[in-house]
Structure 1
Amino acid sequence: MPRMTANLLLLTAAIVWGAAFVAQSTAMESIGPMNFTGVRFLLATLAVAPFAYFERRRVSNPIPLPVIGKGILVGVVFFSGMAFQQFGFATTSVTNAGFLTALYVPLTPVIGVLIFRSWPTPIIWPIVAISVLGAYLLAGSLETMKEGDILMLFSALSWALQIIFVGRMVSKYGNPLAFAFLQFATAGVLGFLGGLPFETMDLSSLQGAWFQIIYTGVFSGALAFGLQAIGQRYTPPADAAIILSGESVFAAIFGALLLSERLTSTQYLGCFLIFSCILLVELLPQIQKRLRRAKKKTEATDTTEASADIPA
């Protein structure tokens, strides 16, 4: 798959997640965070299961049995990120949550270097800095830190780890939909079990959040996270984190469309900076590739001319 196509898949995931931000926040009015997480990802598991099955039948190298355990561990990290985020919504502002969650952008390349000694291209670091600045401007301002802010920081750390692990596993083993299935099933079971002792699930709570459950389960879950797994097979984790950070921009857009929220000029500037980073991640590799080709062509021409100047 061309890298541009993979990046477009990641951008599509960011758009779907942007709308899910509204659904996640409004669902808490009817259902507890653990029950919501469990139900949405059990639904996502059912939605992606047929595609994972056909993928397994089509490929010649299905996931080895020992690697399934690794996929489940990634699912635990995935669940942690979602659970921290959902609980954080209850005790922090949307402003703080939007910025603190976006910290997975700088955390992704840093963790990649610290754990796996995987260095991104040098140009990624200034792009990461611009992206974080854009997220800060989009947030508007940070209020006093609260308990939920700590949960959002843990959520950002979990998302960074999930992006790195998914990228490495699908690059090595393929089968992105199978890994998505493992993540969803793990998160769904853990969410359901986590809600049993502390939350009550009844028909009225499911009815009150039915739209949010379907959207976050089928579209934000099965579709968007499936696109992430496919796209990350062809895109480095640090680049993927920057593209996926576009979810904060689309969250603001859908907030304006669906919740009548309005952006200030500073927030528009933040949107512009984040979009600029997404374009840079896409265009810079193409520019570098063309420059390398031009350099090789020039060197080949110089070599030919030098050979022609040598006396017979």
Structure 2
Amino acid sequence: MNTRALRADVLLFLTAAIWGLAFVAQRVGMEHVGPLTFNGIRFALGALALTPLIMVLEKRRAPGFAGADRKGMAVGGLLLGLALFAGATLQQVGLAGPQLAEFGLEASTAGKAGFITGLYVVLVPLFGLLLAQRPGWGTWVGAGLAVVGMYLLSVTADLTISFGDLLVLVGAFFWAGHVLLVGKLSPGLDGVDAIKLSTVQFAACAVLSLFGAVVTEEISLAGIMGAAPAIAYGGLMSVGVAYTLQVVAQRDAQPAHAAIILSLESVFAAIGGWIMLGEVLTTRGLVGCGLMLAGMVLSQLRP
């Protein structure tokens, strides 16, 4: 492995760690604000955090470069923002312990949410069947392992699943749809326009989330200040820093390496939940996590 590829893998590893620990921040933030308020401010910060990167890359562009169609980028960004809003909202509500407890419902944990969300890696090639794509054997075996792992992780002996886990699972389908949308909208875009498209989607998600928060949640300055560290991590680190690292790393990374390393996000979510929140998985849950991770990796190795 050459130096550039090694550096790319290290940066992707850091990206996965940042994204995984974001699940911890999302859980902590729910102690102070509602899920839509958290997401609204978080993605607004994320959009702002990418602005400096766009400015730097714009300066490096060749003079007279036309760039992407602004109207097309606005429409594409809005569509991505809608998918992102759906996935992020379901995930965040699923992690909202205090809010769900008011209705006698059980929230997901940071570790479980990380693994369940990671199922989008398996769902994407399966959704490809609707687009006349033909997944390889690795996808089918990986999907089977992921389903069994999901059962062991979230389904109890009474064949019930917590409401939080169920919401995160539904959200994984929207994350998969989001990936497919990116695949349709991003080809032909250079690095700068791809980041601009992401910034538009983050801004759209922020607006939708804040509108929903104003309508359905009680927003207070004290609550926002209490959740400020978690929101800052979710917006600046998880979106701004991690996304920048991913963009830089994937210039030199092998696609299979990148997909597998980024799937470690779920492992970091479980480790972070254990160390920082005292979340403990049962032996059954750990086996389920292992099977899900194996399914995610296999679906990338033999897609």
Partners of 1:102 and 1:132 within 8 A in 2: no
CA distance in 1, matches of 2:122, 2:185: 21
Aligned to 1:40: 42
CA distance in 2, matches of 1:136, 1:226: 35
Are positions 1:94 and 2:96 aligned together?
Answer: no
Partners of 2:40 and 2:205 within 8 A in 1: yes
> How many residues are matched?
283
1:1-312 pair list within 5 angstroms: 11-59=13-61, 60=65, 62-68=67-73, 69-89=75-95, 90=100, 91-94=105-108, 97=113, 100-114=116-130, 116-139=131-154, 141=156, 144-145=160-161, 148=164, 150-175=166-191, 176-227=194-245, 244-274=262-292, 276=294
Shift of the 256–71 alpha-carbon distance from structure 1 to 2, 3 Å rule, reads same
- CA positional deviation for 1:11: 4.7
Aligned to 1:301: none
- Farther off after superposition, 81-90 or 169-178: 169-178
Deviations 1:258-307 (A, max 9, x none): 1223344444444544555566567669xxxxxxxxxxxxxxxxxxxxxx
The one-letter code of the counterpart of 1:93 is: A
CA distance in 1, matches of 2:276, 2:91: 21
SS of aligned partner of 2:133: coil
Bigger Rg, structure 1 or 2: 1
- CA positional deviation for 1:227: 4.9
Deviations 1:151-206 (A, max 9, x none): 33431111001122223433432333222211211111111111112223222011
Unaligned runs of 5+ in 1: 286-312
Normalising by structure 2, report the TM-score: 0.76
- Farther off after superposition, 92-101 or 165-174: 92-101
Shift of the 243–76 alpha-carbon distance from structure 1 to 2, 3 Å rule, reads farther
Deviations 1:112-159 (A, max 9, x none): 221x32334433332343344445545585862455555334311110
Shift of the 33–272 alpha-carbon distance from structure 1 to 2, 3 Å rule, reads closer
Larger relative contact order (C-alpha < 8 A, sep ≥ 6)?
2
Shift of the 255–117 alpha-carbon distance from structure 1 to 2, 3 Å rule, reads same
- CA positional deviation for 1:37: 0.7
- Farther off after superposition, 257-266 or 160-169: 257-266
CA distance in 2, matches of 1:49, 1:11: 24
Shift of the 245–255 alpha-carbon distance from structure 1 to 2, 3 Å rule, reads same
SS of aligned partner of 1:261: coil
Unaligned runs of 5+ in 2: none
Normalising by structure 1, report the TM-score: 0.74
SS of aligned partner of 2:186: helix
SS of aligned partner of 2:215: coil
Partners of 1:56 and 1:62 within 8 A in 2: no
CA distance in 2, matches of 1:5, 1:251: 23
The one-letter code of the counterpart of 1:65 is: R
CA distance in 1, matches of 2:150, 2:141: 14
SS of aligned partner of 2:137: coil
- CA positional deviation for 1:47: 0.8
CA distance in 2, matches of 1:120, 1:6: 27
